[in-house]
Chains A and B, each alone.
Chain A
Amino acid sequence: MRAVNGDPRQLEGVSYDPHGSNVVVIETGIALDGGESLGLAKSFAQGLNLNEVDYKPIHSALNDALENISEHAYEGAAQSEERRWWACSIGFPDDPQSFLLAYDLGVTIPATVPRTARKVGERAMESLKRLLKRDDPEGADQTELLRAAFDPAVTRRESGKGGRGLPSMRQLAEQHGGSLTVWSGRAAAWTDDKLLNVKEIAGGVDGTLVLWCVGEKAEAET
């Protein structure tokens, strides 16, 4: 394991197995690299005993998450250290649970929801206003803005450029009997058996952390 010394920028390509059984793979970068995310997706899928075909949707979903970070989280920032992303997969050989994380230090999802909806088009903006029950989405509570980001009517780029956001990431987690949790700014959201919960985080977090946790149901059934 490479020395970390408290600086997450030093976590480049680390494979960490502290107890000789768990596997932690961490990648970080500025530019997007599908090879790096492939390693993470494979490691994550291994914990779920998925075959080569089944890990591909996970790889695509992770790439979508990284694309979202690159395109939205750091809007206006130069292609430099300011645009760094981190991703990590954690698997436990004798445990049905596996974890996949994507993290950025960007402007947070609640901050980007109104301007993304505005860019997506008039219908998305109207949906957002309806959801928030207010005409000025920028003034809404962060938890409600994060909840809105899970609504396909707000995030889907129906008339412009296509893309997937939190609704698809949630779907993937649920397909594998798991959950999706997002911490972003002063808000957190998590799925729990098809329900979406939101709450305010005291003190908040810098940026956004997206966590897929799968295998929970499998554990419950065995």
Chain B
Amino acid sequence: MTKIHVATEFSPTPIGRYKWQGRHSGEAFREVLKDRLRQSRVVEIDLSGTSGLSTGFLDEAFAGLIRENIISPQDYDLRISVVCRDDPSVLDTIHKYVSEAKGKIS
């Protein structure tokens, strides 16, 4: 398993859905995730220490993995693990968007 600490390895304040909106967008982070998924079967993403996580960022980074066929709906829960110690409600938001993406694909 490999780990990514978003606040220190990507940005403490990610924002935006698409790369054209800014450097620290969900699409840009999804590309980081894609690379890590090539290297490791399981990736743990730690969102602790970040602030201002926007819905566009979360949706594009995580649900986007399924929409863009980077990971199958069946594999998502086996290969992606998300933690956010200072704001666990973020996990519910991600879960909601991922579930919607799974529902649309399957």
Hey, which bits of chain B sit against chain A, CB under 8 A? 11-18, 20-25, 51-60, 63, 67, 86-87, 93, 96-97, 100, 103-104
A34 touching B14 in the complex, CB below 8 Å, given contacts A41-B52, A70-B21: yes
A71 touching B21 in the complex, CB below 8 Å, given contacts A34-B15, A53-B87, A56-B51: yes
Task: Give B59 Cβ to nearest chain A Cβ, in Å.
Answer: 4
How many residue pairs, one in A and one in B, have C-beta atoms under 8 Å apart? 95
Q: Mark A130-158, 1 if CB is under 8 A from B, else 0.
A: 00000000000000000000000000001
Hey, which bits of chain A sit against chain B, CB under 8 A? 31-35, 37-38, 41, 53, 55-56, 59-60, 62-64, 66-67, 70-71, 79, 158-164
A161 touching B15 in the complex, CB below 8 Å, given contacts A31-B21, A34-B52, A37-B52: no
- Contact A60 B20, beta carbon cutoff 8 Å: no
B15's partner among A33, A53, A55 (CB-CB below 8 A) is A33
Q: Which 7 A-B pairs have CB atoms at the shortest separation, nearest pair first?
A: A34-B13, A59-B52, A63-B54, A32-B22, A34-B15, A162-B59, A162-B97
Contacting residues, chain B, for A55 (C-beta < 8 A): 51
Contacting residues, chain A, for B97 (C-beta < 8 A): 162
- Contact B60 A161, beta carbon cutoff 8 Å: yes
Contacting residues, chain A, for B22 (C-beta < 8 A): 31-34
CA distance A34 to B13 in the complex (A): 5
